[in-house]
Each structure stands twice: as C-alpha cells, then as structure tokens.
Amino acid sequence: MSQDYTVPGRLNDPAVRAAAKAPAEAPRGRTSQDDVAEPGAVTIVVPTFNESANVRQLLRQITESVPSRLPCEVVFVDDSTDDTPEVIREAAKDCPFPVTVLHRDEPVGGLGGAVVEGMKAATSDWIVVMDGDCQHPPSLVPELVATGERANAGLVVASRYIKGGSRAGLAGSYRVAVSRGATWLTKSLFPRKLHGISDPMSGFFAIRRSAVTADVLRPLGYKILLELAVRSRPREVAEVPFVFQDRFAGESKSSAQEGFRFLRHLVGLRTASPVARMVGFGLIGLTGFVPNLLGLWALTALGMHYVPAEILANQLGVAWNFVLIEHLLFRDRREHRRWWDRVGRFALLANADLVLRIPLIALFVHRLGMGALSATALALVTTFVLRFVGTEALVYLPRRGVRRAAR
C-alpha cells in the first residue's frame, strides 16, 4: 500500500521554461552540450529511508544542475519512519520541476523494491537512479543521459572504478574492503552478464525506460543495478566516471543484515536457471549430512538403537535442507502455498527418497546385473533428480487455481 503525492513545481512558469531551454555552460572537464545528441527528458528516482536531513540539500543540488540542461521530474519512493515525506513535500514547493512522493507502508524488497516502484511511476524517456544522501552528484545526471544518447546505450553506469572515478566518500577501510570484495564476488559469479560494467555495486545509473521490464525484477536489498544487469540487461552499456561524495548528513544504512540480504540475493540470482538450481539443491543436500550425523551421534550416545536414531536424525537433515532451500533457492515462490503445506510436502519427498532407494538398488542389481556399488551410485543420482523435480513441481510451483488467477 503506497500513498502518492505530487508537487507540480514551476514548469508552467514561462521564465522557468525559458531558462530550462537555455544552454548551460558545460562543467569543467566535461563534453560540451553542443557535442552530444539532444538528451530526452529524465525521471530521477530516489529511494529514501529516513533521509529528512538530506532531501532539501539534494533537491537544491538537482535544481542548480539539471533543469537548465534537460527537463526533469523527481520521484521519491519513501520507506521512512520519520518525517522525510513531509520534508520532501515542503522542499518541493521551491523546485522548478514536478516532485512526486510515493510512501510505501510495506517496504517490499527494501531500497531495490523502492526503485522498481519508482521505475513503474516514471514518465520520461530516461530514468536516473540515485541515493538520497547526496553522495551521488546530481550535476552528473545530464551527462549520464547524454552519454546514453550519444552511445545509443540502454544503460549508463556511474562508476567509481574507471579513470576519473573515485570511492573517496566511502567511510573507513572496512567499507572500502566490503565494497571491493562485493564487486569482485559479483563479477566472478556473473562474468558474462556484468561484462563492461566495472562497478556493479553502483547505486547511480541511467536506464532507458524502454530497455527495462520492471515486472521481471525481484530485488532484495539495495543493489538494484546488479538485479537489472542480471535479469534485464540492455544490449548496449556505457560508463561515466564519478567521484563518490561524503554523506551530507546522517549515517549509512549499511549493516550486517543488509550484507546477509545481499548474499541471499546473489544466491537467488545465480540459481535462477533450473540447472543452477539443481546444483544448488545438491550442494544444500550435502550440507544436510552434518546435522544428520550429529543427531545420530547424540541419539546413539544416549542409548537409542541405531535404526530409530537414524530415522530421527534424518529429520534434522531434512529440516536443515528445508530452511536453506526456502531462503536461498525458492524465496520468490514461497507465497504459492502456506508454510505448513510446504513443510509437509518437502518432508514427505525427503523421506520417500530413503524408501525408494533400496528397491531401486535391488532392481539395478538383479534385473540389470549391476554391481552393488554402481547400483547404489545410480540409485542416489536417480532419487536426487526425482526429489529435485518433485520439490519444484509439488512444493513450489503455483497451484492450478493460483496460476489461473495470476493470468
């Protein structure tokens, strides 16, 4: 549920419209306006969470550097628990462009989800995404759009890691190390999708509205550029260097929790294909041996017979696997069934695996003449594939009624 409030600005003022069309002096070191294709209008999308101390300064910077070079509108998508929406609406009264505030009561997807909502609300040819803490210089917005027009690109990334860029605004060696590590990890996991993008962790970029389908995006946390590049990457990508500024006010929203969400998001993106999901399913299944063996050791140490002990210990492995699969592989599909329904179906499939394996081994040995070792290996592979297919089809695929309703 979101609340929409728009401040029209002063675009209808003839003097303001004339000023907006007048050529501006190109910033020092930048390409002059005469040398680039005429940029289209731009919607600046700003996701905010408790940034009331920054939004006045941000709107002031946008007013000083953007409308004199190209028409613009600003869409704030706000998840704040403070007075940020009210501060935006008050500050917007002095802006020569429309300012919209979309306040979300339920911040689904975090800041990345907020960006997707802003993209859906955008009306311009270009969308520029930037943070609300003034670490992304609005003066670069016209150049991002102009570069996209000149290069016929669908995505233009403001990068800290090409010549002329800098991560100077990152506070402390810890945040620098985390940023560098996250960049290396994502580029290692998605070498093809991120080819030509030196800074996939950047939160400052421009994208053509026609180049992205917002409905295919499934953001989790604040790294929306990574989501865009992997799920909906335009064919042509360009980069512009930028210097990451110091925060104007307040503190960074980065936290250990956001770090874990980022890692979950990476796993979800990497396992989006069926083959990758199957590999992830198998790796998670292997980790399930740890709680299984620990439970077996503890129960037999207490004097329980090994047969019932193994049955009970197996349930520990099943529970472990279920939790990891729920949060890492099928996070986007959990809404199709209630949690107790998913638990019951998953446990039934996991335990059926044990029951089915022994008859399969006997079949392979006596009917196909296989040795016991090779028969066991083939039975393990067969039951694993059946268990994976069964988990997808019986636990996480939408029910027929749900599927029809979605259509």
Residue 257 lies in a domain: no
pLDDT of the residue at 73: 92
Residues 162 and 300 both lie in one domain: no
Neighbours of 259 (CB within 10 A): 13
* Structural element, H or E, at residue 47: strand 42-48
Residues 231 and 321 both lie in one domain: no
Identify the residue with better confidence: 131 or 335: 131
Residues 204 and 305 both lie in one domain: no
Residue 258 lies in a domain: no
Identify the residue with better confidence: 363 or 404: 363
Please tell me the distance from the alpha carbon of residue 339 to that of residue 201, in angstroms, as a whole number. 33
- In this structure, the strands spanning 99-104 and 2-7 are antiparallel
Please tell me the distance from the alpha carbon of residue 295 to that of residue 312, in angstroms, as a whole number. 8
Please tell me the distance from the alpha carbon of residue 127 to that of residue 379, in angstroms, as a whole number. 53
Secondary structure of the chain: what % helix, strand, coil (to 5)? 55, 10, 35
Structurally, the chain folds into a number of domains equal to 2
Domain's final residue, options 220, 251, 282: 251
Identify the residue with better confidence: 327 or 77: 77
Are the CB atoms for 74 and 100 separated by under 8 Å?
Answer: yes
User: What's the pLDDT band for 222 if we cut at 50, 70, 90?
Assistant: low
Residue 264 lies in a domain: no
Please tell me the distance from the alpha carbon of residue 128 to that of residue 262, in angstroms, as a whole number. 22
- Read off the pLDDT of residues 157-171 as tens digits, 9 standing for 90 and up: 999 888 888 776 555
Please tell me the distance from the alpha carbon of residue 254 to that of residue 186, in angstroms, as a whole number. 18
The domain of 311 spans 270-406
Residues 284 and 156 both lie in one domain: no
Please tell me the distance from the alpha carbon of residue 169 to that of residue 247, in angstroms, as a whole number. 7
Residue 153 lies in a domain: yes
Radius of gyration (Cα) for the chain, nearest Å? 26
Residues 153 and 296 both lie in one domain: no
Residues 225 and 296 both lie in one domain: no
User: What's the pLDDT band for 31 if we cut at 50, 70, 90?
Assistant: very low
Residues 147 and 28 both lie in one domain: yes
Residues 247 and 331 both lie in one domain: no
pLDDT of the residue at 187: 77
Residues 162 and 71 both lie in one domain: yes
Residue 259 lies in a domain: no
pLDDT of the residue at 43: 93
Q: What pTM did the predictor assign?
A: 0.64
Residues 95 and 11 both lie in one domain: yes
Residue 260 lies in a domain: no
Beta bridge partners of 99: 7, 74
Unique residue bearing structure tokens 């580029």: 187
Please tell me the distance from the alpha carbon of residue 118 to that of residue 292, in angstroms, as a whole number. 46
Are the CB atoms for 9 and 74 separated by under 8 Å?
Answer: no
Residue 406's Cβ-count burial label (10 Å; 0-12, 13-18, 19+) is exposed
Unique residue bearing structure tokens 């694993």: 384
- Read off the pLDDT of residues 236-275 as tens digits, 9 standing for 90 and up: 899 999 888 766 665 555 556 666 666 776 766 666 667 7
Please tell me the distance from the alpha carbon of residue 201 to that of residue 197, in angstroms, as a whole number. 10
Contacts (Cβ under 8 Å, ≥6 apart) of 101: 3, 4, 5, 6, 76, 78, 85, 88, 89, 92
pLDDT of the residue at 28: 34
Please tell me the distance from the alpha carbon of residue 119 to that of residue 65, in angstroms, as a whole number. 22
Nearest of 405, 269, 264, 402 to residue 338 by alpha carbon: 402
- Read off the pLDDT of residues 352-391 as tens digits, 9 standing for 90 and up: 877 787 788 888 888 888 887 787 778 778 888 888 888 8
* Longest Cα separation, the chain: 91
Residue 261 lies in a domain: no
Please tell me the distance from the alpha carbon of residue 265 to that of residue 271, in angstroms, as a whole number. 10
Residues 107 and 20 both lie in one domain: yes
